[in-house]
């Protein structure tokens, strides 16, 4: 089969392409990516020479370009990872989030409608459910938890989810949606918590913890997310949403301290900074549906996954040092300079 993977030069899309070509080398994988600040061609180096891989620099909002690609490639499936993905950036400048995350998703689905017989999977996030209180560890997000977003980012992702389900109901588009918790692993852009803390630790820079560091996230190793998506695309029920997460909740400050210990640095590097506006308190996924219907369970324990991730950043300094020495420096100064 031929599969279009959008956003494949980013963190999860890149890991997904590595995974897909390893597990299904007979499939043709066409990566569509605009190469924004978050897209990195070097993430795709390990598959660049694979005979069944093609990279296409293209914006998912470019209707003519996307339609022409569908005409040429005649895909059997589309997995839409492409998005603006960083909450802090969405607070600074929401517009591009609405454009890529909502309009771009609609363009991809219009192409699916026009060409027919194409499975469409929308990669969404647990952030569409808003947050849970810190003092109610008995509460989890299920697929029937109401959408209740906090940031422009999560609102744009929720908009795309609603559109996907509307295209299913109105046009009968063969759509599925997955809502995953926080991912970690190789190739994550160093603006996100775990790679930012690893990079700053290695450079002996302050570690900016928002608020008191008590916010909780439910961490999943990226390859487990990739396996879940592959399963949903092959065996998931059309028109359904699946939550993906592994009951691995941790407070931010505990993650930061763990990274400090693993790299042999001092906790004096921790700097508490002004909190994120509208900061969600706690995310926690109930993955019962994907477990009972598709047999998915996370395979990587956090203790192993985080060591593997830290080792990857140590062994691949070139990948992230190139990022943090470029335009990222202006971003960092703007976000953290006076915080
Ligand atoms: P990322 O920011 O690392 O990568 C996004 C990729 O999309 C980049 O390669 C970028 O160049 C590309 N892109 C952006 N705008 C585009 C456009 N208009 N056209 C084509 N390509 C474009 O993001 P990520 O962390 O890999 O997230 C991937 C998807 O997974 C997103 O949809 C995100 O909402 C979702 N998600 C992420 C997490 C997480 O923890 N990172 C968790 C759950 C869901
Ligand atoms: O839950 C899934 C979501 O996880 C995805 O949909 C998003 O694309 C992804 O970016 C992620 O969102 P978060 O906002 O949870 O991730 P981030 O890495 O930005 O922050 C994780 C937590 O760490 C959050 O509580 C804010 C805090 N934080 C983050 C940064 C960058 C800090 O304390 N300091 C920091 O410098």
Distance (Å, whole) CA 95 – CA 253: 31
Q: Is the CB of 7 under 6 A from ligand 1?
A: yes
Determine how many CB atoms are found less than 10 A away from the CB of residue 90.
22
Alpha carbon distance 262, 51 (integer Å): 39
How high is the pLDDT of residue 333?
A: 93
Is residue 142 helix, strand or coil? coil
For tokens 């998931």, what's the residue? 236
Residue pair 39/81 in contact by the 8 Å Cβ criterion: no
pLDDT of residue 285: 98
**Residues 108, 67 contacting (CB under 8 angstroms):** no
Q: Are 3 and 75 in contact (CB under 8 A)?
A: yes
d(C-alpha 210, C-alpha 43), whole Å: 29
| Ligand 2 atom with the shortest distance to the CA of 207 | 36
Which of these, 52, 51, 160, lies nearest to 105 by C-alpha position?
160
Active site residue 127: yes
Q: What is the pLDDT of residue 180?
A: 98
- The gap from C-alpha 129 to its chain's centroid, in whole angstroms, comes to 16
Ligand 2: distance of its center to the CA of 252 in Å?
A: 9
Q: What string of pLDDT tens digits covers the 339 residues of the chain?
A: 999 999 999 999 999 999 999 999 999 999 999 999 999 999 999 999 999 999 999 999 999 999 999 999 999 999 999 999 999 999 999 999 999 999 999 999 999 999 999 999 999 999 999 999 999 999 999 999 999 999 999 999 999 999 999 999 999 999 999 999 999 999 999 999 999 999 999 999 999 999 999 999 999 999 999 999 999 999 999 999 999 998 999 999 999 999 999 999 999 999 999 999 999 999 999 999 999 999 999 999 999 999 999 999 999 999 999 999 989 999 999 999 988
The alpha carbon of 33 and the centre of ligand 1 are apart by a number of angstroms equal to 10
In angstroms and rounded to an integer, the radius of gyration of the C-alpha atoms of the chain is: 19
Rounded to an integer, what distance in angstroms lies between the CA atom of residue 214 and that of residue 247?
A: 17
Q: What is the pLDDT of residue 212?
A: 98
* Ligand positioned closest to the Cα atom of 83: 1
pLDDT for res 338: 86
Q: Please enumerate in sequence order all residues whose Cβ is within 8 A of that of 49, keeping only pairs 6 or more positions apart, or say none.
A: none
**What pLDDT is attached to residue 93?**
97
Q: Are 275 and 215 in contact (CB under 8 A)?
A: no
* 242 a catalytic residue: no
CA of 7 to the centre of ligand 1 (A): 6
Cα 18 from Cα 136, distance rounded (Å)? 38
Q: What is the pLDDT of residue 193?
A: 98
Pairing of strands 249-251, 216-218: antiparallel
Please give the pLDDT value at position 243: 98
Task: Show the beta-strand stretches assigned E in 254-315.
Answer: 270-273
Ligand 2 atom at shortest distance from the alpha carbon of 218: 1
Parallel, antiparallel, or unpaired for β 207-210 and 270-273? parallel
Single out the residue of 66, 60, 63, 28 nearest to residue 47, CA to CA.
28
- pLDDT recorded at residue 339: 87
Distance of CA 198 to the CA centre of its chain: 19
């Amino acid at each position: 089969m031929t599969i279009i993977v959008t956003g494949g030069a980013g963190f999860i899309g890149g890991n997904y392409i590595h995974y897909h070509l390893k597990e299904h080398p007979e499939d043709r994988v066409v990566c569509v990516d605009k190469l924004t600040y978050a897209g990195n061609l070097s993430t795709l180096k390990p598959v660049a020479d694979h005979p069944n891989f093609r990279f296409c620099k293209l914006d998912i909002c470019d209707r003519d370009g996307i339609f022409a690609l569908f005409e040429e490639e005649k895909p059997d499936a589309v997995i839409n990872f492409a998005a603006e993905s960083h909450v802090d950036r969405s607070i600074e400048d929401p517009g591009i989030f609405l454009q890529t995350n909502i309009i771009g998703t609609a363009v991809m689905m219009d192409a699916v409608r026009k060409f027919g017989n194409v499975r469409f999977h929308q990669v969404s996030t647990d952030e569409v459910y808003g947050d849970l209180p810190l003092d109610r560890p008995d509460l989890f997000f299920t697929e029937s938890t109401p959408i209740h977003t906090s940031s422009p980012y999560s609102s744009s992702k929720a908009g795309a989810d609603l559109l996907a389900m509307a295209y299913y109901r109105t046009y009968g588009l063969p759509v599925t949606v997955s809502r995953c918790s926080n991912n970690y692993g190789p190739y994550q852009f160093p603006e996100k918590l775990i790679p930012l803390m690893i990079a700053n630790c290695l450079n002996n820079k302050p570690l900016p913890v928002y608020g008191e560091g008590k916010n909780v996230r439910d961490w999943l190793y990226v390859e487990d997310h990739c396996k879940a998506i592959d399963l949903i695309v092959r065996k998931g029920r059309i028109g359904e949403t699946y939550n993906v997460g592994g009951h691995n909740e941790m407070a931010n400050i505990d993650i930061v301290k763990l990274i400090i210990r693993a790299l042999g640095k001092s906790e004096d590097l921790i700097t508490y900074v002004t909190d994120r506006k509208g900061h969600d308190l706690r995310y926690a996924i109930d993955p019962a549906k994907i477990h009972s219907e598709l047999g998915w369970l996370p395979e990587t324990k956090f203790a192993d996954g985080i060591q593997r991730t830290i080792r990857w950043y140590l062994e691949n300094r070139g990948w992230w040092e190139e990022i943090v020495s470029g335009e990222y420096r202006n971003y960092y100064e703007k976000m953290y300079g006076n915080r």
